[in-house]
Amino acid sequence: MDISTEHLSPDDRMKLEALQNPAVMEITERYLKLLKPKKVTVITDDAEDIRYVRQLALKNGEEEKLAMEGHTIHYDGYHDQARDKQNTRVLVSPGMKMSKVINTIAREQGLEEVLEIMDGAMAGKEALVRFFCLGPLNSRFAIPALQITDSAYVAHSEDILYRTGYEQFKKLNGSPDFFTFIHSPGALDERNNTKNVDKRRIYIDVVGNQVLSANNQYAGNSLGLKKLALRLAIYKANHEDWLAEHMFLMAVQPPGKDRLTYFAGAFPSACGKTSTAMIPGQLILGDDIAYIRSGPDGEACGVNIEQGIFGIIMDVNPVDDPVIYEALTTPRELIFSNVLINDDQAYWLGMGRELPETGRNHFSDSWKQGEKDESGNVVGHCHKNARYTIRISELVNADPKLHDPEGVPIEGVIYGGRDSDTCVPVYQSLDWVHGVAIGATLESETTFATLGKGGERAFSPMANLDFLVVPLGRYIQNHINFGQSLKEAPLVFATNYFLKKDGQFLNQKVDKKVWLLWMEGRVHGEFQSIETPIGYIPKYEDLQALFREVFNREYSPGEYEEQFSIRIDKFLEKIDRMEKIYAEEQEVPAAFSGCLETLKTRLVEAKSEYGSGVVSPTTFAG
């Protein structure tokens, strides 16, 4: 029997048929036959349909209402708190080139495995057939996306994070050029959490433009349109000469000046990405994923593929992140994930308040301080990767151009990571290729946003390594080609908020605003710089003036000396690490390798001339 006839109401079937898209019908019927749901509901862009999804999440117990109007809480399960690198794999066909750092499995083998796991995964549950759009509607950036899931929480999250796409599918005129995401958390326990985490699979099929995800609930593994869609987009972009990047987009408006300057920025998870995009006084366009294409005048133009934020909540407090904190503590539609709930109030690590000693959290409905898990580990108040999901339009600093189909002109690109001993707080690349090299050699201490150990130095080119589905050499070459094809490429900068001395940070969290304003001024030629072996660094006088203007604070020559001394030996060690990594890659661009060699020569010559592995910034200024 036709699965659509068996499980779809006449109205739901009409909703699918109205799209006049044979590919949608074929994919929907094929996967519903495999997944075997008890009921199927097709959701359009209609507000009533979308309200139904949120109510279903509450009815199913996947979310619960909190005391604050519009707030709900969701738990992913104690062993489902971050992206699962081990079980996230790219399906590769014979002859397909892929970097060694990418986790792969043969396409035929992977499909057979995951489809067997998903067989009957929705038995007894309700499947939701969803339509979204990655990027602004009616835009050359837009990519339609079909999502089938039996998790109303996942579907509700996507309503907050993404633009509706049912009407966008009609404009495909029957074309199969869309992404497909199939997801099920599988069998659930008494807390509505996935039971069979040992059978968790997240398989990315770039050939089929689809992602198959089973036995998980954490959004990084389950929300098809997020990092899973990024992988499909990277494959598409690197075959079509544009960029799909793990980047924020923001508009910088310097004090007292009537202009907006747009920046894109790539930071690995928990390295200051969202807090940079949310610096007070600036406008946010997006905090996570950007599509970048060349504009009509040969400039780089970018859009946020999302309309919401799925952000790490730890350390969001009224001092460091006042805009987000205000949004999280006032009435509006938002979802908390894996935080502590006490008396229907949400509490999280680093929120600036004393936390209760009991409550409901990601481990237990009756957690108490000091409680231990089955391995004897003390379970904290909430997971360090606890999250919030909110619409950007709910924020007071939302950029009005969020949904602009033409995108925004990008004049600067920022790369940043966690680095306690090498990189200065901010510097500018020597040129575009050097800027690509800065991104391609990005390192960061690992964090709780991925499963595994924290505190280890990790290689993270463009903060995108986890999501690459093309050879690393090709990815870098595409960046070089893209910038060189522009009439004027964006300036490229590196930032580091985590430089330390004797275990203490050398700058305050809020100082990132000064580094940002210096970069914005450099875009407009308003600040001079000092050329060093690693690139252009700020002059002390400019930073001194910015600290006075922004914070009414004195920035001392001693602070400048400690922060902006060039740690030559550390940079040489880094280049050595990078050369060893890229020696294992194929088709590494000659321009990139040549850039590393040039940087090494500059550093060695500086050490020889100045006789030290650490050189004062004033030495280069002289």
Which stretch of DSSP H or E encloses residue 41? strand 39-42
Give the count of domains, the chain: 3
**pLDDT at 3 (0 to 100):** 55
In a domain, 153, yes or no: yes
Residues 524 and 599 both lie in one domain: yes
> 157-180 pLDDT, tens per residue?
999 999 999 999 999 999 999 999
Question: Is a pLDDT exceeding 70 seen at residue 556?
Answer: yes
pLDDT at 533: 97
Residues 263 and 229 in one domain: no
316 and 268 both lie in a single domain: no
379 DSSP assignment: P
Q: Looking at residue 177, which CATH number applies to its domain?
A: 3.40.449.10
Kindly state whether residue 207 falls inside one of the protein's structural domains.
yes
Residue 205 has pLDDT above 60, yes or no: yes
Please indicate, yes or no, whether residues 519 and 613 belong to a single structural domain of this protein: yes
Task: Judge whether 250 lies within some domain.
Answer: yes
Q: 103 and 231 share a domain?
A: yes
- Global model pTM greater than 0.95: no
Question: Is position 21 within any domain?
Answer: yes
Q: Rounded mean pLDDT of 295-303? A: 96
The residue-averaged pLDDT of 239-266 equals 95
Residue 354 has a pLDDT of 95
Q: Are residues 46 and 166 in the same domain?
A: yes
| pLDDT score of 614 more than 90 | yes
- In this structure, is residue 69 part of a structural domain? no
Q: Which are the catalytic amino acids?
A: 271
pLDDT band, residue 8 (cuts 50/70/90): confident
Residue finishing a domain among 216, 237, 258: 237
Does 214 lie in the same domain as 282? no
417 and 367, same structural domain? no
pLDDT tens for 396-446 read 999 999 999 999 999 999 999 888 899 999 999 999 999 999 999 999 876
Name the DSSP letter for residue 615: E
pLDDT digits (tens, 9 = 90+) for 284-293: 999 999 999 9
* 417 shares a domain with 557: yes
The last residue of a domain, from among 394, 417, 450: 394
445 in a structural domain: yes
Segment 549-567 mean pLDDT = 96
Q: Are 283 and 335 found together in one domain?
A: no
What CATH number should be reported for the domain holding residue 331? 2.170.8.10
CA angle centred on 213, ends 212 and 216, rounded to 5°: 175
d(C-alpha 511, C-alpha 587), whole Å: 39
H/E stretch holding 58 reads: helix 47-59
Name the helix (H) or strand (E) containing 408.
strand 408-416
Let me know whether 351 and 295 are in one domain.
no
Whether the predicted pLDDT of 216 surpasses 90: yes
Nearest-Å Rg of the Cα atoms of the chain is: 24
User: Which pLDDT value is given to residue 271?
Assistant: 79
Q: Check: CB of residue 343 under 8 Å from CB of residue 67.
A: yes
Which of 394, 410, 435 delimits the end of a domain?
394
- Is the Cα dihedral 14, 19, 22, 25 positive or negative? negative
Is pLDDT of 451 > 60? no
Q: Are residues 231 and 256 in the same domain?
A: no
302 lies in a domain? Answer: yes
Instruction: Judge whether 508 lies within some domain.
Output: yes
Mean predicted lDDT score pLDDT of the chain? 94
Lowest-pLDDT range of 190-204, 451-465, 505-519: 451-465
Burial pattern 279-313, b for ≥16 Cβ within 10 A else e, equals: beebbbbbbbbbbbbbbeeebbbbbbbbbbbbbbb
Q: In terms of residue numbers, what domain contains 112? A: 3-63+84-237
pLDDT in tens, 356-397: 999 999 999 999 999 999 999 999 999 999 999 999 999 999
pLDDT tens for each residue of 308-363: 999 889 999 998 888 899 999 999 999 999 999 999 999 999 999 999 999 999 99
